[in-house]
Copies of this chain bind each other. A is one copy, B any other.
Amino acid sequence: MESAIGVLVSKFKAYAGSDGSSDTLSRDEFRSLVTLELPSFVKNAGDPTAMDQLMSSLDENNDGELNFLEFWQLIGHLACKHGGFSQ
């Protein structure tokens, strides 16, 4: 489990580090991550409007960026769906 958690942390850092703060995902970084890393979990990754809505729904402090815990909420819901658990 720990190595799987490590993968998620290092992937987040890789994308978060592309521009601006390396602790948060900008809109572009978020889109790249979802498109390249979550192709089967997020079906409409190619739809910019859907991605903007998804990001806004996660951006709890409305700073236009996703910090790790905000991002973690998305992964949790995707994992929940993937596992067939009720949300």
> Which listed residue (B1, B23, B38, B76) contacts A85, Cβ 8 A?
B23
27 contacts between A and B (CB under 8 A): A1-B7, A1-B8, A1-B11, A1-B33, A1-B38, A2-B37, A2-B39, A2-B40, A3-B7, A4-B4, A5-B8, A5-B41, A5-B79, A8-B79, A9-B79, A23-B85, A23-B86, A67-B85, A67-B86, A68-B79, A68-B80, A68-B83, A69-B76, A69-B80, A72-B72, A72-B79, A72-B80
When all copies of this chain in the complex are counted, the total is 2
Q: Is the interface of A mostly helix, strand, loop or mixed?
A: helix
Q: A69-B76, A72-B76, A76-B76 are in contact. Are A83 and B4 (CB under 8 A)?
A: no
